[in-house]
Amino acid sequence: MSIAVDPAGPGPVLLVGDIGGTNTRLAFATLAADGFRLDALSRHATPEDLPALLSRQLDGRKVDIVALCGAGPLRDDGSLKLSNNPCLLDPAAIAKATGARQVIIVNDFEAIAQAVPALQPADLREIQTGVGHASAARLIIGPGTGLGVASLIAHDGDWLVLPGEGGHVDLAPVDDAEVEVFLKLRARHGPLCVESLLSGSGFAKLHAALSGGPMLEPPDIVVAARSGDAVAAQAMQMFARWLGRVAGNAALTTGARGGVWIAGGIVPAWGADFDRAAFRDGFCAKRGFEQWLAAIPVQLIIHPQPGLIGLARLGAAAISTNFAGHKHIHGVMP
């Protein structure tokens, strides 16, 4: 990546932020001729007044670019309203509060997709062995506060990020056990999309449907499963299998023979308790395409801040190509 900076002087400074439905992570990304580094990482409860938080974070420090991602779709005016939080990412308000010359706003899984080519083996854990096709599409998907989906498409020797809202497609049960749970969830919560189940709150709803009891906090369900609670263990297994089904559907839709990367906060937190076999069962169970899907490598992203890495890469690309130009850019892989 070529970065237009003076090697003898300080590089441009970015403020990058991953604005989630629950938590916001901020850091400074200092660019130099040999890349960038993330400094002063901080974590906050996601506020309604984001410009005020960013201004406090700067504390008088000058910044050239603010690059933010959020869990929601980008609007036509360049703003982004979080799907599961009142917070609004408004580029005009952010530019005014921070004094930045350029503001970049993208979907959170677009930012994670930007990071995928930069991730190292230590940042990943294998879920399914396979050999990715070098020029084929890549899929990034994962549950957290919601369910994020994005893809990478090869184009002219580069990668284009295609953000999406795959978390809001319809939830489809396949076997009898899933149909039973689906009917209970629909009766209690109304129409269901995939993130109605494949999210933190969805996991709690799934467990309550299986147990017939009240909703528990997701970490408490995991602790119960580790202590031998059969219903909690069943909820974790069903969650993994259903995630596999949804990821397999998305891989078929996008032709993601280049690989699948699982992101989000839930699966990495489960660690060894994530049922990889159940995930693979759901992922590959597509009639006539079992072997096609079984050949796709699936990796779990365990890097703690992939979104910030992706935003720093976007900022570096903006400095290289368009620093004095537009106020907003969309996600083209540098």
CA dist 117 → 12, 152, 154, 158 (Å):
23, 10, 12, 11
CA dist 139 → 23, 66, 154, 216 (Å):
24, 26, 12, 31
pLDDT value at residue 155: 85
265 and 136 in one domain?
A: yes
pLDDT value at residue 5: 35
Q: Evaluate whether residue 219 is within a structural domain.
A: yes
69 and 135 in one domain?
A: no
User: Measured between alpha carbons, how far is 191 from 184 in angstroms, rounded to an integer?
Assistant: 11
134 and 68 in one domain?
A: no
93 and 130 in one domain?
A: no
User: Measured between alpha carbons, how far is 297 from 109 in angstroms, rounded to an integer?
Assistant: 19
Contact 13, 62 (CB under 8 A): yes
User: Measured between alpha carbons, how far is 103 from 122 in angstroms, rounded to an integer?
Assistant: 31
172 and 92 in one domain?
A: no
pLDDT value at residue 21: 81
Q: Evaluate whether residue 8 is within a structural domain.
A: no
pLDDT value at residue 206: 98
pLDDT in tens, the chain (334 residues): 223 333 334 567 889 999 988 889 999 987 666 567 788 889 999 998 999 999 999 988 888 899 999 988 889 999 999 987 889 999 999 999 999 989 999 999 999 999 998 899 999 999 999 999 999 999 999 999 899 999 999 888 778 999 888 999 999 999 999 999 999 999 999 999 999 999 999 999 999 999 999 999 999 999 999 999 999 999 999 999 999 999 999 999 999 999 999 999 999 999 999 999 999 999 999 999 999 999 999 999 999 999 999 999 898 888 776 544 333 333 332 2
Q: Evaluate whether residue 326 is within a structural domain.
A: no
223 and 127 in one domain?
A: yes
127 and 70 in one domain?
A: no
pLDDT value at residue 37: 78
Paired strand residues for 299: 126, 261
pLDDT value at residue 34: 59
Secondary structure percentages of the chain, helix, strand, coil, to 5: 40, 25, 35
User: Measured between alpha carbons, how far is 6 from 151 in angstroms, rounded to an integer?
Assistant: 34
Domain limits at 36?
A: 13-113+305-321
290 and 182 in one domain?
A: yes
Among the listed residues 230, 146, 144, 134, the one whose alpha carbon sits nearest the alpha carbon of residue 193: 146
Q: Which amino acid is at 141?
A: I
Q: Evaluate whether residue 103 is within a structural domain.
A: yes
Q: Evaluate whether residue 74 is within a structural domain.
A: yes
Q: Evaluate whether residue 152 is within a structural domain.
A: yes
213 and 75 in one domain?
A: no
Q: Evaluate whether residue 29 is within a structural domain.
A: yes
The helix-helix angle for 230-254 and 218-226 (nearest 10°) equals 120
Q: What angle do CA 15, 16, 17 make, to 5 degrees?
A: 125
Task: Count the domains in the chain.
Answer: 2
Q: How far, in whole angstroms, is CA 201 from its chain's centroid?
A: 16
93 and 23 in one domain?
A: yes
3-state class (DSSP) for residue 329: coil
Q: Evaluate whether residue 333 is within a structural domain.
A: no
To the nearest 10°, report the CA torsion of 37, 42, 48, 49: -70
- Cβ partners under 8 Å of residue 260, min gap 6: 128, 138, 139, 140, 141, 247, 251, 283, 296, 297, 298, 299
pLDDT value at residue 4: 34
278 and 152 in one domain?
A: yes
User: Measured between alpha carbons, how far is 298 from 279 in angstroms, rounded to an integer?
Assistant: 10
- CATH classification of the domain holding 256: 3.40.367.20
User: Measured between alpha carbons, how far is 111 from 107 in angstroms, rounded to an integer?
Assistant: 7
pLDDT value at residue 291: 97
144 and 96 in one domain?
A: no
- CATH classification of the domain holding 100: 3.30.420.40
CA dist 92 → 56, 59, 115, 167, 225 (Å):
17, 19, 26, 28, 47
User: Measured between alpha carbons, how far is 302 from 119 in angstroms, rounded to an integer?
Assistant: 10
